[in-house]
Amino acid sequence: MNAPSSTYGLSSEARNLHWLLSNLVEEVPGVRSVAVVSSDGLMLLSSDARHIEAAADPTVQDGPKGSSADLATIVSGLGSLTMGAAKLMDGGVVKQTMVAMEQGSLFVMSISDGSLLGVHATPDCDMTVVAYHMALFVGRAGHVLTPELRTELRRSLESAQ
């Protein structure tokens, strides 16, 4: 996790979101890393499972280069691009975006408050399983992601750096 190694001092809602994110990474095969980004593009939560996986197996691709902030930046940019495209096409609200690449997949799903959940996965992941677990996360996180909780999550990330 790119959050404090301990969730001591965080509200129960923040601890619950950290647990949900960890569970997504640990329970869903093929997930390399996950980021939750606020509607204004700031990272709220992040998990770098790909670094753990790469340390255990040097043949594993390490995903987006640099820090976990790179995934958050990509998720924010892709979310903005697809929302703009949907607006131009009168397509309504973007629910999910998926990019299939030779060496991986990227999924971006909207959360009810305008935040985005992004998942970087292996090329051989089961896309339906990843999307299903992302929808579970969004359903559980969407109603608790209040402005106060977003502020708490940002502060916990800043204090961890």
Scanning the chain, the segments in alpha helix (DSSP H) are 12-27, 49-56, 68-88, 127-141, 147-160
- List strands edge to edge, sheet with 43-47: 43-47, 31-37, 116-121, 104-110, 96-101
Query: Could you state, in order of their start, the residue ranges of all structural domains in the chain?
Result: 12-160
Q: Would you write out the chain's pLDDT as a tens digit for each of its 161 residues?
A: 444 445 678 899 999 999 999 999 999 999 999 999 998 889 999 986 444 444 344 444 454 554 577 899 999 999 999 999 999 999 999 999 999 999 999 999 999 878 999 999 999 999 999 999 999 999 998 888 888 899 899 888 877 76
Buried b (16+ CB within 10 A) or exposed e, 23-39: ebbeebebbbbbbbbbb
Annotation: CATH topology of 12-160: Beta-Lactamase (3.30.450)
Q: Which amino acid is at 154?
A: R
Q: Which amino acid is at 7?
A: T
